[in-house]
């Protein structure tokens, strides 16, 4: 999927695949049915170059690479103070690719794209759901003026 979005590079990106019927409203599925869907690999790129840690391969029904990357982006991987980290079995029910943009692009802008490789031809409607997070706070003062502030990274020390 070329050019998912362009412009200023976000601080974080999360992406998952779900049946389109769950987005439309389905009594059988949930709106957070983000599962593997027989995905074999996922490549996240900016301006045509793969981001650090991508492409990711999924082997033997255990998504260990995406799981570890997700935990790292969430700050759980090396944080011994984290009281609960989701198990890989929980992760398989809420399967997300995660990325923190750091140094991939000197201009801090560009086109983000994703390449997905499935085990077989996909015979159902799937949607790629993407969340981006920018470290910007927008507020409106008492005069109706909009202030935009860059949010500083909070240390987890």
Q: Judge contact between 97 and 44, C-beta under 8 A.
A: yes
Q: Six-digit token pair at 132?
A: 């981006």
| Secondary structure of residue 90 in the 3-state scheme | helix
What is the chain's percent helix, strand, coil content, to nearest 5?
Answer: 10, 35, 50
Is pLDDT larger for residue 100 or for residue 141?
A: 100
Task: Please state, in angstroms and rounded to a whole number, the distance separating the CA atoms of residues 45 and 56.
Answer: 12
The set of residues, in sequence order, having a beta carbon less than 8 Å from that of 24 and lying 6+ positions away, is: none
The set of residues, in sequence order, having a beta carbon less than 8 Å from that of 140 and lying 6+ positions away, is: 146, 147
Q: Quick check: 97 pLDDT over 70?
A: yes
pLDDT band, very low/low/confident/very high, at 86 (cuts 50, 70, 90): confident
Q: Judge contact between 46 and 111, C-beta under 8 A.
A: yes
| Secondary structure of residue 23 in the 3-state scheme | helix
Q: Six-digit token pair at 149?
A: 């502030």
- pLDDT, average across residues 74-96: 79
Share above pLDDT 90 across residues of the chain, in percent, rounded to a whole number: 15
Helices (H), the chain: 20-24, 64-73, 88-91
Note the pLDDT tens digit of each residue in 124-156: 888 888 998 887 777 787 888 777 666 655 444
Return the pLDDT at 150: 63
pLDDT band, very low/low/confident/very high, at 157 (cuts 50, 70, 90): very low
Quick one: CA torsion of 141, 142, 143, 144, rounded to 10 degrees? 60
| Secondary structure of residue 64 in the 3-state scheme | helix
């Amino acid at each position: 999927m070329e050019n998912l979005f362009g412009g200023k590079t976000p601080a974080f990106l999360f992406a998952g695949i779900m049946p389109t019927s769950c987005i439309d409203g389905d009594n059988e599925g949930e709106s957070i049915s983000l599962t593997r869907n027989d995905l074999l690999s996922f490549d996240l790129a900016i301006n045509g170059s793969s981001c650090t840690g991508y492409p990711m391969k999924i082997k033997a029904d255990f998504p260990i690479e995406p799981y570890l990357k997700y935990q790292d982006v969430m700050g759980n991987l090396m944080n011994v103070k984290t009281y609960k980290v989701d198990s890989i079995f929980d992760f398989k029910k809420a399967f997300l690719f995660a990325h923190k943009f750091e140094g991939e692009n000197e201009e801090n802008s560009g086109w983000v794209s994703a390449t997905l490789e499935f085990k077989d031809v996909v015979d159902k409607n799937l949607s790629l759901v993407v969340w981006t997070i920018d470290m910007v706070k927008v507020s409106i003062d008492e005069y109706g003026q909009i202030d935009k502030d860059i949010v500083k990274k909070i240390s987890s020390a």
